[in-house]
């Protein structure tokens, strides 16, 4: 079923909230709000004050997961310290979904490459998800938006390696590239299925670099800001 996509050229917290309301989807129960916490040193990620209006409106909990590569977010203590340093804790309740194991395994019965997805187990505490994405380039994915947030973003540290390796975490950086991309799509589908349609997706096309917010040293933006997209 096709979704209606709403667009605004205005990029402000108020515009984000206005588009969310136009989508007309009420997120039930306890709402997980998936953000990108921003790697230490990255200059392009969208800061918590930009997202505050909509997160306050839905009464959600900011959620993140640890990374699978060296940096400031690959262990729970380091990631919690970065979340504090970047100001997320100043405004919101924050839940690091894979702070403690074991991972929650989601089945992907129709997967093209992978047939299971390993996500932070605390996702089981939520009834719906608001996916807030900074749309930009990505050195491996080509671009990063809602699909990457649903797949790599919700996956645990081990799950990220599993997706990158197309089912073999030992091939984290060496797996066939197309198989990696298809694994991301497989993993994202399992999260969509998990929430049974109780999700809203917002993509903000601002500060668009060729690099992801996971890069500590990222290229400066190379495209003009375009706007905000919202859909189910």
Is residue 106 within 8 A of residue 119, CB to CB? The reply is yes
Using one digit for the tens of pLDDT, what is the confidence trace for 3-50?
899 999 999 999 999 999 999 999 999 999 999 999 999 999 999 999
Instruction: Please count the other Cβ atoms lying within 10 Å of the Cβ belonging to residue 13.
Output: 16
Using one digit for the tens of pLDDT, what is the confidence trace for 169-209?
999 999 999 999 999 999 999 999 999 999 999 999 999 99
Q: How distant, in Å, are the alpha carbons of 106, 141, 232 from that of 188?
A: 10, 14, 14
> At residue 137, does pLDDT exceed 90?
no
Q: What are the residue boundaries of the structural domains of the chain, listed by start?
A: 6-231
State how far the Cα of 170 lies from the Cα of 208, in Å rounded to an integer.
Answer: 31
Mean pLDDT of the region 196-225 = 94
173 φψ region: left (φ > 0), alpha (ψ -120 to 50), beta (else) = alpha
Using one digit for the tens of pLDDT, what is the confidence trace for 87-114?
999 999 999 999 999 999 999 999 999 9
Using one digit for the tens of pLDDT, what is the confidence trace for 150-169?
999 999 999 999 999 999 99
Report cis status (omega within 30 of 0) of the bond before 195: no
Weakest-pLDDT range from 24-33, 136-145, 189-198, 221-230: 136-145
Q: What is the pTM of this model?
A: 0.96
Q: DSSP strand E in the chain: where?
A: 6-8, 31-34, 61-64, 94-96, 104-107, 116-119, 128-134, 136-138, 142-144, 199-205, 227-231
Is residue 3 within 8 A of residue 232, CB to CB? The reply is yes
Among the CATH numbers 3.40.50, 4.10.280, 3.30.420, 3.30.1330, which is that of 6-231? 3.40.50
């Amino acid at each position: 079923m096709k979704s209606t996509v709403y667009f605004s050229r205005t990029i402000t917290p108020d515009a984000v909230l206005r588009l969310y309301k136009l989508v007309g989807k009420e997120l039930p129960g306890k709402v997980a709000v998936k953000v990108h916490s921003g790697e230490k040193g990255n200059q392009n990620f969208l800061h918590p004050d930009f997202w505050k209006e909509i997160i306050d409106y839905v009464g959600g909990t900011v959620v993140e997961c640890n990374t699978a590569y060296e940096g400031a977010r690959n262990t729970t203590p380091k990631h919690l310290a970065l979340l504090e340093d970047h100001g997320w804790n100043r405004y919101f309740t924050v839940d690091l979904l894979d702070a403690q194991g074991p991972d929650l395994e989601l089945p992907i019965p129709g997967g093209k490459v992978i047939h299971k997805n390993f996500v932070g187990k605390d996702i089981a505490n939520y009834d719906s998800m608001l996916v807030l994405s900074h749309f930009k380039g990505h050195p491996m994915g080509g671009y990063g938006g809602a699909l990457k947030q649903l797949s790599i973003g919700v996956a645990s540290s081990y799950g990220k390696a599993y997706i990158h390796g197309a089912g073999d975490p030992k091939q984290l950086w060496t797996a066939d590239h197309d198989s990696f991309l298809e694994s991301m799509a497989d993993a994202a589908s399992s999260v969509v299925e998990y929430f049974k349609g109780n999700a809203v997706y917002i993509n903000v096309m601002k500060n668009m670099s060729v690099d992801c917010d996971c890069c500590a040293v990222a290229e400066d933006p190379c495209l003009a800001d375009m706007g905000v997209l919202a859909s189910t």
